[in-house]
Amino acid sequence: MSAVGTAQDVPAPAKPTSSLYMVALLGIVSTFCGLVIVLAYQVTTPAIKSNLAQITRDAVFEILPETGEMAAYGIQPSGDLVKLEGIETDLPRFFVGYDKAGKVAGVVFEAAGRGYADVIRVLYAYAPKREAIVGFKVLDSKETPGLGDQIGKNKAFLANFQALDVTLNADKSALVHGIEAVKNGTKSEPWQIDALSGATVSSKAVGALLNHSTQEMIPLAVRHLAQLEERN
């Protein structure tokens, strides 16, 4: 690699480049680059949006296998629900899965909380008839590979979410027992999560984020169950 600007490279004393030329050059290159980026953005945006929507949709069908079709609802600041056209919204949202007969099979919520490495984002499915969480999927986590990331893979851990009890109290305003993660092998109640051995922090984080989310979302969904059943 010959160094640029050494004595041999410049045979005659080079004329200094005019400032105007440099400004114009950078201006032209920047404009061209800007156009390319905007073009790429325009071309790829529809595909990116549909990809993201498809991933969410697939995840909903995955954790609620009996779902035939789904709808998305946004939660307005007043606490009322509004049915969404697609699934995109700026409001907090959740999804409702309907079974073949058109009844509510389950409600799927998004939840997030601080994990060991970074924020853990999950989806979980609530089945109103069974008053339990019946499905769980980690959407996004940066937990330690091989240890903490097992919260999304380990079969024994995921078995916690086949029937995790979230029964509501008599006036349907709160859970009777909050969800909690307990040390590996000590689960004794249906609302407890048996933690992964070697990944206690990640397991506890899942317990805490689910507890936080269910305390708020499940009473809300149950309050509006009639509206969800009528699909409006």
Partner 1 sequence: MATPAAENPKANRNTDVFLNGIWKENPVFVQMLGMCPVLAITNSVRNAIAMSLAVLFVLVCSNVLVSLVRKFVAKEVRIAVFILIIATFVTVTDYAVKAISVPIYKAMGPFIALIVVNCIILGRAEAFASKNSVFKSLLDALGMALGFSLALFCLGTVREALGSGTFLGFPLFGDHFQPWVIFVLPSGGFFTLGAWLLVFAWWRERADRKKAREAQSP
Residue 173 neighbours by CB under 8 Å, 6+ apart? 219
For the segment 60-99, give every residue that binds partner 1 (CB under 8 A). Answer: none
Shortest Å distance, C-beta 158 to partner 1: 18
119 binds partner 1 (CB under 8 A): no
Do 231 and 71 form a contact (C-beta atoms < 8 A)?
yes
For partner 1, the closer of residues 68 and 146 by Cβ is 146
Dihedral angle at the C-alpha atoms of 119, 125, 128, 134, nearest 10 degrees?
Answer: -110
Smallest distance from the beta carbon of 153 to partner 1, in angstroms? 11
- Nearest residue to 133 (alpha-carbon basis) of 108, 103, 99, 97: 108
Q: Do the beta carbons of residue 136 and residue 161 sit within 8 Å?
A: yes
* Of the candidate residues 4, 101, 170, 226, the single one contacting partner 1 (CB under 8 A): 4
In one-letter notation, the amino acid at residue 17 is: T
* Residue 163 is a binding residue for partner 1 (CB under 8 A): no
Nearer to partner 1, 112 or 147 (CB): 147
* Minimum distance of partner 1 from residue 87's CB (angstroms): 14
d(CA 210, CA 180): 8
Q: Which residue from 13, 79, 86, 145 is in contact with partner 1, where contact means CB under 8 A?
A: 145
d(CA 220, CA 214): 9
Residues found near partner 1 in the complex (CB under 8 A): 1-2, 4-5, 9-10, 14-15, 17, 21-22, 25-26, 29-30, 33, 36-37, 40-41, 43-45, 47-48, 51-52, 55, 140, 144-147
